[in-house]
Homo-oligomer: A and B are copies of this chain.
Amino acid sequence: MAQPALIDDNSGGDDTQGNEAQGNGVELGALHGILGFHIRLAHGAVYRHFTETFADLELTQKQVSMLWLVGDHPGIAQIDVGNLLRMDRATTMTIVNRLQDRDYLRRERSSSDGRKQALYLTAGGEAALEQAKLCIDAHEAWLKSRFTEQEIEKLVEMLARIHD
């Protein structure tokens, strides 16, 4: 069938969440007990579905997160965005650069601290963010569909214990 890489194309219509590793009799073994391993696999699955969902908008996770943060905090400094998203300065640069090139974001020297770049959404950026939030809703619905409200709360709380 020449599947397109790992993306679950779901073109069949009614197949049941076909994400399982088609173990050819081969199993994970002791690797199954490794928590970090499950986090990586879960992240990969989320990443792939995100990429699919945002294929039309051509936005990545980091780009959306950054648009979102700048939308919530106009004038936020580059360094603060980086800190909140756990990116170093160099990585933050590349994301801001891309969004600026696409005219979604603009930089402005901070008046209170000349070292900082204050970030603002352009009109295009606000429109893109609006679109993106709709996609996020769909993406999150897909992700959360397998959990109860309580489970989601517990899961978020546990994940926060890892990254906080």
Q: Is A31 an interface residue (CB 8 A)?
A: yes
Q: Is A86 an interface residue (CB 8 A)?
A: yes
Q: Is A84 an interface residue (CB 8 A)?
A: yes
Q: Which residues of A contact B (CB under 8 A)?
A: 5-6, 19-24, 26, 28-31, 33-47, 50, 61, 65, 68-69, 72-73, 76-77, 80, 83-88, 136, 139-140, 143-144, 146-147, 151-152, 154-156, 158-164
Taking CB atoms, residues of chain B closer than 8 Å to A77 are: 24
Taking CB atoms, residues of chain B closer than 8 Å to A61 are: 36, 40
* CB-CB nearest 5 A-B residue pairs: A43-B43, A41-B163, A38-B159, A5-B88, A42-B162
Identical chains bound together, number: 2
| Selected A-B contacts with CB under 8 Å, 20 pairs | A19-B164, A21-B84, A22-B83, A26-B76, A26-B80, A29-B68, A29-B69, A29-B73, A30-B68, A30-B72, A34-B140, A35-B143, A36-B46, A38-B156, A40-B61, A44-B86, A45-B163, A147-B161, A154-B154, A155-B155
Taking CB atoms, residues of chain B closer than 8 Å to A158 are: 147, 151, 155
Taking CB atoms, residues of chain B closer than 8 Å to A143 are: 35-36, 162
Taking CB atoms, residues of chain B closer than 8 Å to A36 are: 46, 50, 61, 136, 139-140, 143
The answer to whether B83 and A38 touch across the interface, beta carbons within 8 angstroms, is no
Distance, CA A164 to CA B29, complexed state (A): 15
The answer to whether B23 and A84 touch across the interface, beta carbons within 8 angstroms, is yes
> Most chain-B Cβ atoms within 10 A of its Cβ — which of A30, A40, A72, A160?
A40
